[in-house]
A and B are shown apart, each in its own frame.
Chain A
Amino acid sequence: MIVDESILEGCIAGRREAQYQLYQKFASTMLAVCFRYARNRDEAEDFLQEGFLKVFQNLPSFRKEGSFEGWMKRIMINHSLNEVKKNRKIPFHEDIGEINETQILENDEFADKMDPIESDVLLEMIRSLPEGYRVVFSLYVMEDYSHKDIAEALNISENTSKTQLLKARRLLKNKVVDYHKTRVIPHYQ
């Protein structure tokens, strides 16, 4: 999503109509991002609100070297994670040794047979995960964080991150399979 240079300049100058244009352009996308880390929609909107304030405050420091959307998304994610960490303890399950995720789901053929699933259904599957799983899975899969990044962001070990991801994937895989079974997809008959 490309943003007009004049809108950014207007935001930096503090013009409210430019700020509103920026909000209208990105609010829907960013709310979906915040929702991945929030407990509910209300909390996601709180994250979005404060996140936009930070975006407007920090806009002068945006160096225009990368995409604006990516920069904004990073602010939203960081703010959401900070708020989550500040307000509650995310329950992460204990480490269970060195995890080799590629081996655990090795030979998993179901992915190749997957038919598309509606995004609302997939979102609901992610929402139903325990918070620790959901946060790690979202960071790793949706935001392309590495386990090292996740460990730094959440103050956990890399192994804990891997554990959460592993378990999240396992749960999600089951949910996807179950969903297809209920839909009577030919692959699973």
Chain B
Amino acid sequence: MIEKQNIHSDANDGLDNLFRNALGSHQMEPSGGLWKGISRKLLWTELAHFNFSNLPRAFWIGTASAFLIGMIFLVSQIPDGKVTENSYSPAIPGQNYISSSSAFISNSNHSASPVKHHPENTSSTSSTSTNTATYASLIPSNLPLSVNTGTSRTANDPVILASTGSGRNLYDLVYMYHISSGNLFPNTAEDTMLRFITQNSILNVPKTKRETPQFLTLNLGISPEVSVYRGEDLYSTTNYWLNASMTYHAGRFSISTGFDLGYIFDRGNYRVNYKSKDSIGFFTSIVSFIVNPDNTVVYTTKDIPVYDSLQHIADDKGNNRYTYLQIPLLLGFEVIETNHLSLGIKAGPALSFLIGTKKAVPFVDYPNARLILVEDNTMQRVKTNWEFQVGLDLEYRLSKNFSVYAQPYYKHYFKPFIQQEGASAKDPYSIGLGIGTRFNFGLKKTKP
């Protein structure tokens, strides 16, 4: 251990003090951007060592509350994808077509100009109907609904389901229809239009059996990520992945796989052997002399440095680039979906293969040096590695078939990147953000 000693005292105090006094309190103004660099590195260090358990309880309560409120808001914004919302313009101006909410089935489609729909308070109404016992049995008892029991109905007449409650009856009907998976009116044809009517609006619902939407998407994107190496020396590197994958969607679930091409950067260690001519000592050369009258001789001397070619060894570092091919297999679940936005989670394993290495040339910058040998002491990277990836999938639909996505993710590797026996390195991890475009094939969704 180095221990500080008292200021040295010897015959050279004069020279030493000259430098010590002048330079002891010497200052140099750092460059303007230096603090930014420190601040950025501090941030990375903090992120790398971030411990969620250190967060205050208020943070967790606040985050949970915000998440809950956000979820409620998003869910409240979800429209029913199968419902076409139309306004009701009275066929004959001034005539009250139907004065309360009801639903009926027609064998022909109807349309009207689209405006916003407002549910209203409703009261009971009466119309023709048929097979009411069957329909009545399908209506949950807790819904304020009753089935009209009209007596005569021809094949072309609409079937009327009338509501007797108030407020949300119309939406209850629509909801009931959907939870029935299209079986609410089993005796009607597939192309039958179910029409829900209130005093000033109409909802047209095509009667089709509710199918689980199945389709494929092609995803192309790029993922910058930060990999944290957790060995004796903790450090991080910024890497880039090119992503190409196909995803098969079945309802809210999906499975995706493809190819990711990764450019991973890591340190390279080199030992450089070089020779340089260095001063190895001095000799004192007499330049001239004067013999004084008293026979004393005064010499004028000069120190001449002696040089020799010395061999040196220096350690140098470079920035190597490794190319990995990664095959992920991710399972996804869509949590929230609105007209334009959807949010899901994705998780699954991935297998990566080292397919290329590009080593940096060590920087040798020693004056008058002659390079003898450069030894590559870089540790071997692993050829294959398993990792587990989990992340979010936020999609914004630009059109029926085209969308953009952002996928923040966390990736945990199951073994260190470096092949080193007895290494104490912990498993590395990466945090990244995938961004890209998604093309939907055969998406059976209403165009937003």
Q: Are A14 and B46 in contact (CB under 8 A)?
A: yes
B209 within 8 A of partner (CB)? no
**Helix, strand, loop or mixed for chain A's interface?**
helix
A3 within 8 A of partner (CB)? no
> With A87-B314, A87-B316, A170-B282 in contact, do A31 and B5 touch (Cβ < 8 Å)?
no
Q: Are A141 and B2 in contact (CB under 8 A)?
A: no
Q: Are B12 and A122 in contact (CB under 8 A)?
A: no
What 1/0 flags go to A129-144 for Cβ under 8 Å of B?
Answer: 0100000010011111
> With A49-B34, A149-B2 in contact, do A122 and B42 touch (Cβ < 8 Å)?
no
State in angstroms the CA–CA spacing of A167 and B3 once bound together: 24
Within 8 A of B (CB), among A107-139: 107-108, 110-112, 114, 116-119, 122-123, 126, 130, 137
State the Cβ distance, A142 to closest chain B Cβ, in Å. Answer: 6
> With A140-B8, A144-B4, A149-B5 in contact, do A119 and B22 touch (Cβ < 8 Å)?
yes
> With A111-B15, A122-B19 in contact, do A16 and B314 touch (Cβ < 8 Å)?
no
Q: Residues of A within 8 Å of B, CB-based: how many?
A: 65
B312 within 8 A of partner (CB)? yes
State in angstroms the CA–CA spacing of A52 and B40 once bound together: 12
- By a beta-carbon cutoff of 8 Å, the part of chain B in contact with chain A is 1-8, 10-20, 22-31, 34-35, 37-39, 41-42, 45-46, 276, 278-282, 303, 310, 312-317, 366
28 interchain pairs (CB within 8 A)?
A: A27-B35, A28-B27, A29-B25, A29-B27, A56-B42, A86-B315, A88-B314, A88-B316, A105-B12, A105-B15, A106-B11, A108-B11, A108-B12, A108-B14, A112-B14, A116-B22, A117-B18, A122-B22, A123-B23, A123-B26, A144-B8, A149-B4, A149-B5, A153-B2, A172-B19, A173-B15, A174-B303, A176-B15
Ordered nearest first, which 4 A-B pairs have the shortest CB separation? A111-B14, A28-B27, A88-B314, A149-B2
Q: A91-B276, A91-B278, A140-B8 are in contact. List 9 more A-B contacts (CB 8 A).
A: A31-B27, A48-B30, A53-B38, A89-B314, A94-B280, A94-B281, A105-B12, A108-B15, A152-B1
